Amino acid sequence: MRSVQGPNRKDRDLPELAVLALLSPGPRHPYDIHRLLVETGKVFVTGLPRSLYHAVSRLEQAGLIEAVGTQRQAGRPERTVYALTASGRDEVRRRVEVLLAAPTADASSTYAALSFIAVLTKEQALAALRARTEALSVAIKQLEADLGRATDVQPLLLIESEYELARLRCELRWMSELAERIEAGSLEWLDAFPSEARA
């Protein structure tokens, strides 16, 4: 895996990420993307539907998606259908990889990365998960050391740090088990980009 830095503001734009990810299997119109988000309970994408349509506009301006036609159903307005560009395909993988590899206190970013993990190849996902578990291990050791040095602090004043330590340990265990399931093949890998040869 290439060197991955922590997510920036653009990486954490979840409406944009949702559009890119849900266009990965093929072209769709924004209403269909909105419907899929609602039906699959992807509540980490907030401000729907307005945020979704703004995301589509920004992504089109950035050259990450492009209009490829229109669709009309009886009794419905004409809808523009969008598809990923080659740059968009690279970008959705990069964003999911960054969000998956870098632990963050923002749970929504983690939910999004896991929700759209299938845009990565199996190898990319495993590399990102390994990077995340390594970072979690470092954070756990640091917090354990900090708590060990806080011998003159009343325990009640440290409970938020104890909670964070428990959360990090739980996440490390779960992410490690996820990587093991993927590597062992017990979690069937989906083909988000059916036109590509995938491992």
Place of tokens 């849900």: 22
pLDDT average, residue stretch 179-188: 94
- Phi/psi region, residue 114 (left: phi>0; alpha: psi -120 to 50; beta: rest), is alpha
58 and 131 in a common domain: no
Whether 198 is in a domain gets the answer no
130 and 111 in a common domain: no
Whether 199 is in a domain gets the answer no
Q: Give the SS3 label for residue 167.
A: helix
Neighbouring-strand partners of residue 102? none
Whether 46 is in a domain gets the answer yes
**CATH number, domain containing residue 63:** 1.10.10.10
pLDDT average, residue stretch 130-134: 97
pLDDT (tens digit per residue) in 64-120: 999 999 887 766 778 999 999 999 999 999 999 999 999 988 899 999 999 999 999
132 and 68 in a common domain: no
Whether 3 is in a domain gets the answer no
Burial of 60 (0-12, 13-18, 19+ CB in 10 A): middle
Place of tokens 């490829």: 68
Domain boundary among 115, 136, 168: 115
* Token digits of residue 198: 């995938």
Question: Which domain covers residue 142, as residue numbers?
Answer: 122-184
Place of tokens 């309970």: 41
60 and 150 in a common domain: no
Inform me whether the pLDDT recorded for 195 exceeds 80: no
Contact criterion met (CB below 8 Å) for 101 and 29: no
99 and 46 in a common domain: yes
71 and 28 in a common domain: yes
Whether 138 is in a domain gets the answer yes
What domain count does the chain have?
2
Inform me whether the pLDDT recorded for 3 exceeds 50: no
97 and 22 in a common domain: yes
Domain boundary among 71, 86, 115: 115
Contact criterion met (CB below 8 Å) for 192 and 118: yes
CA R_g for the chain? 20
